[in-house]
Chain A
């Protein structure tokens, strides 16, 4: 099996990047993202003053930063997330998931996370199957043919806009607009995939 060498930041690099990234605007993004994630994934209507069962978003954010800075804590994978803000959000996502899941488990309170009663857990699925599920969902969300065409190369293969414009012979500004439209549907796509058991 081929083992890829990851580009992992040093402690000093993490400190420097975090100091630069931590601005009032970015902090606000982190708060909003946490509230949205709590609402959409766990059906929690977050109260800024009371929090959720003693869990406060400011603590989740602070724990995320600590987890990135403490000894043997989370890594910053620079090859995957060249901008540390991406790594911070991804780590925040895991922190929220771990905290809330364990809190819900602790009180033995089984939440009906989504209204869909027939959640089918899919453990083994192949690329074509999940791609087809995505396309089905995106079609239902009203994606145009061009947006659907863009989904696989842009989201899954992470192709650059310029390369996509060359590949499809579509002007760059049109690609940019299509990308924006598609981007807006991604959070819903993720929720729908979760409902279908693709995030288990």
Chain B
């Protein structure tokens, strides 16, 4: 376990590194025999790849968060017998291949609700649920 003291030094190093815009890092790496131009070139190349990947990852995480949220709201709506969300879910079930599997909404688990709504427009579902 690092001491708080060392953590404070770490924090100061990080702040200084960001303020200084990497010139100190460059000189430290040069003394360790690294080629800064080569690292810069490598970083630029990797940045393009990683920023593209990050955007995709953030979107995926966003979708998962929306799915979690919508599922929980629908689950609560079923429990509380709120009419519109329940009929919306019934429609979804009736209009796809799940109709045989889920006849009784009250028996649906969180995971089953997720399965049913995962390919739907989650923002639209959330809007509808929030209106209720």
Contacts and interface: CB of A to CB of B under 8 A. Distances in A.
A58 interface: yes
B44 interface: yes
Main SS at interface, chain A: helix
Interface string A125-145: 101001100100000000000
Interface in A1-48: 11, 15, 18-19, 22, 24-25, 27-29, 31-33, 35-36, 39-40, 45-46, 48
B64 A71 contact: yes
A28 B44 contact: yes
B25 A70 contact: no
Interface residues of B, number: 46
Interface in A147-165: 154-156, 158
Nearest to A46: B34
Interface in B17-56: 17-18, 20-22, 24-26, 28-29, 32-34, 38-40, 42-44, 46-47, 49-51, 53-55
Contacts of B62: 15
B46 A31 contact: yes
Contacts of B8: 155-156, 158
B15 interface: yes
Contacts of B17: 29, 33, 89
B32 A39 contact: yes
29 contacts: A19-B55, A24-B43, A28-B22, A28-B44, A28-B47, A29-B25, A32-B26, A35-B34, A35-B39, A36-B25, A39-B32, A48-B39, A65-B50, A65-B57, A66-B57, A69-B58, A69-B61, A80-B11, A83-B18, A85-B18, A86-B15, A134-B5, A155-B8, A155-B12, A156-B5, A156-B8, A186-B13, A198-B6, A199-B2
Given A27-B46, A32-B26, A199-B3, 8 more contacts: A18-B54, A35-B34, A35-B39, A36-B28, A81-B11, A89-B14, A130-B3, A183-B12
